[in-house]
Amino acid sequence: MTASATTPIIRPATVHDVPRIALIINSHAELGRMLFKSYAQLYEDLRDFAVCEVDQKVVGCTALSVIWADLAEVRSLAVEKSFHGRGIGKLLVRWAIEEARRLQIRRLMSLTYEQAFFDKCGFVVVPKESLPLKVWSDCVRCPKQEQCDEIAMVLTLHDLPVIEAPDATPTPRGVSIPVLDYAED
């Protein structure tokens, strides 16, 4: 069956998509709704990204970033404003969920201002302190830093087995990797 001209297609991103991804993300970043992304960051993280195409035009994107054995973060989710409210955000989150399932990662998280949208995608609000420190690695690039007002939300894929995630012990050279533990305070 041929897809109709306006059927949104979700597919992994390629280098050709980076200028459109940057434009969409940074148009929202200018309004303070998400973090700016440079071309350098986007090329580096390209394998994490999927895009949504409508009529051969990229109109949305998201990335799934692996944090730890049992946690991945939905990042850089953005839909071009004129395409809001057509189910594209939900399709992109569904891609992230399937990608987490493929990787056998049981929990997805998001730091967001869009609680109602993520509610609709099945995520629940959790205390920020329950997330591992590595999640905050982007905070150094955020102008808000200590005044972070994003909401932490998590979706658990209960059909996946619980994994015994290794803890972040020092490497043989004695250098601790920047995931310490689940913060308790």
Ligand X SMILES: CC(C)(COP(=O)(O)OP(=O)(O)OC[C@H]1O[C@@H](n2cnc3c(N)ncnc32)[C@H](O)[C@@H]1OP(=O)(O)O)[C@@H](O)C(=O)NCCC(=O)NCCS
CB of 92 to ligand X, least distance (A): 7
Closest to ligand X by CB, 43 vs 113, is 113
CB of 184 to ligand X, least distance (A): 25
> What is the SS3 assignment for 122?
coil
Closest to ligand X by CB, 141 vs 176, is 141
Q: What DSSP string runs through 41-106? A: HHHHTGGGEEEEEETTEEEEEEEEEEEETTEEEEEEEEE-GGGTTSSHHHHHHHHHHHHHHHHT--
Q: Are 98 and 157 in contact (CB under 8 A)?
A: no
Where does this chain bind ligand X (CB under 6 A)? 28, 33-34, 77-79, 84-90, 110, 112-114, 116-117, 120
CB of 96 to ligand X, least distance (A): 11
Closest to ligand X by CB, 85 vs 166, is 85
